[in-house]
């Protein structure tokens, strides 16, 4: 058991608990619990967005992929900054102006319908539970390898901490923790960068040059891939770029900002942080390949997930490794806290309050149900994490992105931008997109094996995303002949989504109809 790493991780967790306690003093109602009272600044939300999106899988997984596969591993990093450019241009401001507590509220501003809200909430729960399970599995494995803590104990402890953050401080606590984690992560990454650059005589490109000299130019350059691999990469990029706009725990952050201008500013700051962070990962990957060596990296973890940890240990000793381990744990906690809020909002605010009770629920009862739903979902995710210990978490993450890109993204975008869209088109798109995504994953090589797979791609977004948009078009065409599906007048929706001044308060001051 690594006492130094446990001490550092314990100190970081203690800070997050203090932040949760401070947040509890600012959490008085459902608005505070779900969206931090809609008072987060652009810079603060940009840092929180980075804390939400930069996961331990990015730092550990992409660095390891570059170390083991060369430039091909960097494909995993390209999609995130591109995705947030789309978020900045397409959905940041209208989400803030149309939404209230959840993504379903954004759609409900235009379309009434319990079936539609229930479908959006159910999809939110599916993607959130998958993401929560991924974080628990990753945390358990990393705590076991880096801290010497048993897998099951690590999963339970993190679940308890996540629940404490959610119950005590809600989205306010999640925001504080995400900002703290982002600052801590960036400081640690730049500290590690100093060690790496110093090792190569202060040449930031030294790791790439040495890797090319030792292992050949192919390791630092793109090269043609087999057709199936190329299509998988295209499908991965589609899932990443469009899936971000449908990830509830990420998009929920835009509902926390003070106004539309702050929402747009936060997307810009987040994109800058992502870009800098991901551009540094190949430097660490090639440095690990050179300094640690491929054999040691594979011996530590077949997927290369501990390459950057071993690099930190070689360059900075046990203390730098301990700091990195603590930051990884903080990263996981930050992501988990945001997921818990999004999932509890879908369960309590959308399903219970608006679908089951038809909006006839008091603010205190809704707040209680939100916290109770978060606890219940944490228990479900713990049980899934125990059973998913040996599954490929990168595969699970891609499934979550593909589901989001094939369900919530089309409905959100078309609700904002297409005059001819209607409620039937939204219902058909989200239900059909979810079913197509899940069926293609079940028929793919990661489930049936490469030889028995009926669908050749492990990532279904290349097929499921166009199919979802097509279903939206067909459903809307059929719905035009049916009364009561047109929803709120489109000009009214556009006026609320894009007021003349980006800092004008949202026109939606009351609960959206369901």
Could you report the per-residue pLDDT of 4-56, keeping only the tens digit for each?
A: 778 888 888 888 889 888 888 887 777 788 888 888 999 999 999 888 777 76
Using the predicted structure, report yes or no on whether residue 511 has a pLDDT greater than 50.
Answer: no
Digit-coded pLDDT (tens) for 380-439: 888 888 877 766 666 677 788 889 999 999 999 999 999 999 999 999 999 999 999 999
pLDDT of 507 reads: 43
pLDDT-derived band at 1 (thresholds 50, 70, 90) equals low
Reported as a pLDDT band with limits 50, 70 and 90, residue 508 is: very low
So what's the pLDDT on residue 393?
A: 65
C-alpha distances (whole Å) from 400 to each of 128, 129, 236, 356 are: 8, 9, 11, 26
Q: Confirm or reject CATH 1.20.1730.10 for domain 3-389, answering yes or no.
A: yes
Banded pLDDT at 514 (limits 50, 70, 90):
very low
Predicted confidence band of residue 324 (pLDDT cuts 50, 70, 90): confident
Q: Pick 433 or 457 by higher pLDDT.
A: 433
pLDDT recorded at residue 512: 38
Strands (E), 383-478: none
Residue 470 pLDDT exceeds 80: yes
pLDDT value, residue 510: 40
Alpha-carbon distance of 364 to 370, in angstroms, equals 10
Q: Given this model, what pLDDT does residue 75 score?
A: 65
> What backbone torsions phi and psi does residue 473 show, to the nearest 5 degrees?
-65, -45
pLDDT in tens, 333-377: 888 888 888 888 888 888 888 888 887 777 778 778 877 887 888
Span 51-80, average pLDDT: 76
Mean per-residue pLDDT of the chain:
84
Distance CA 305, CA 294 (A): 12
Nearest to 323 by CA among 312, 334, 314: 312
pLDDT at 394: 63
pLDDT for 172 beyond 50 = yes
CA nearest neighbour of 104 among 373, 365, 343, 401: 343
Is residue 224 predicted with pLDDT exceeding 80? no
The proportion of the chain whose per-residue pLDDT surpasses 70, expressed as a percent, equals 92
pLDDT higher at 13 or 462: 462
Contacts with 467 (C-beta within 8 Å, 6 or more apart), sequence order: 406, 432, 433, 436
pLDDT in tens, 126-159: 888 888 888 888 777 777 766 777 888 888 888 8
Q: What are phi and psi of 419, to 5 degrees?
A: -65, -35
Instruction: Confirm if 371 and 377 have CB atoms less than 8 A apart.
Output: no
Nearest to 215 by CA among 124, 289, 143: 289
pLDDT value of position 502: 43
Q: How far apart are CA 28 and CA 37, in angstroms?
A: 9
| Alpha carbon 367 to its chain's center | 24
In DSSP notation, 90-108 reads HTHHHHHHH-SSSHHHHHH
Q: Is 40 helix (H, G, I), strand (E, B) or coil?
A: strand
pLDDT of residue 287: 93
Domain ranges for the chain, please list them: 3-389
pLDDT band at 274 (very low <50, low <70, confident <90, very high): confident
**Residue-level pLDDT at 359:** 76
């Amino acid at each position: 058991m690594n006492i130094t790493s446990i001490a550092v991780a314990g100190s970081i967790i203690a800070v997050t608990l203090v932040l949760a306690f401070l947040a509890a003093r600012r959490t008085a109602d459902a608005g505070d619990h779900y969206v931090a009272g809609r008072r987060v600044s652009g810079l603060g939300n940009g840092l929180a967005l980075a804390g939400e999106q930069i996961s331990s899988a990015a730092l550990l997984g992409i660095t390891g992929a570059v170390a083991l596969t060369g430039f091909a591993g960097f494909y995993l990093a390209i999609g995130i900054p591109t995705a947030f450019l789309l978020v900045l241009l397409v959905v940041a401001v209208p989400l803030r102006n149309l939404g209230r507590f959840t993504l379903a509220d954004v759609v409900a501003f235009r379309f009434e319908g319990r079936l539609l809200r229930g479908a959006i909430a159910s999809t939110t729960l599916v993607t959130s539970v998958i993401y929560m399970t991924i974080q628990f599995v990753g945390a358990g494995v990393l705590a076991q390898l880096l801290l010497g803590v048993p897998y099951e104990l690590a999963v339970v402890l993190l679940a308890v901490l996540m629940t404490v953050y959610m119950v005590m401080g809600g989205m306010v606590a999640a925001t504080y923790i995400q900002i703290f984690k982002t600052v801590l992560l960036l400081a640690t990454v730049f500290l590690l960068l100093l060690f790496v650059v110093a090792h190569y005589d202060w040449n930031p490109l030294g790791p790439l040059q040495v890797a090319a000299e030792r292992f050949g130019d192919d390791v630092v350059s793109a090269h043609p891939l087999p057709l199936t691999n190329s299509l998988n990469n295209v499908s991965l990029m589609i899932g990443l770029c469009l899936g971000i706009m449908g990830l509830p725990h990420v998009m929920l952050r835009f509902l926390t900002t003070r106004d539309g201008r702050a929402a747009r500013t936060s997307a810009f700051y987040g994109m800058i942080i992502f870009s800098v962070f991901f551009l540094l990962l190949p430097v660490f990957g090639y440095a690990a390949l050179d300094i640690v060596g491929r054999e040691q990296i594979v011996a530590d973890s077949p997927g290369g997930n501990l390459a950057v940890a071993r690099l930190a240990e070689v360059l900075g000793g046990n203390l730098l490794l301990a700091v990195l381990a603590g930051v990884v744990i903080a990263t996981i906690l930050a992501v988990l806290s945001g997921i818990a809020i999004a999932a509890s909002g879908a369960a309590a605010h959308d399903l219970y309050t608006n679908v089951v009770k038809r909006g006839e629920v008091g603010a205190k009862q809704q707040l209680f149900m939100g916290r109770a739903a978060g606890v219940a979902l944490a228990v479900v995710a713990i049980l899934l994490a125990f059973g998913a210990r040996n599954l490929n978490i990168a595969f699970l993450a891609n499934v979550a992105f593909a589901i989001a890109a094939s369900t919530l993204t089309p409905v959100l975008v078309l609700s904002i931008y297409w005059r001819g869209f209607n409620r039937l088109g939204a219902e058909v798109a989200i239900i059909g997109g979810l079913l197509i995504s899940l069926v293609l994953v079940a028929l793919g090589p990661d489930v049936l094996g490469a030889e028995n797979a009926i669908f050749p791609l492990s990532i279904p977004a290349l097929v499921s995303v166009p199919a979802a948009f097509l279903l939206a078009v067909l459903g809307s065409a059929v719905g035009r002949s049916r009364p009561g599906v047109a929803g709120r007048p489109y000009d009214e929706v556009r006026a609320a989504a894009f007021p003349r001044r980006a800092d004008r308060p949202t026109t939606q001051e009351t609960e959206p109809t369901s």
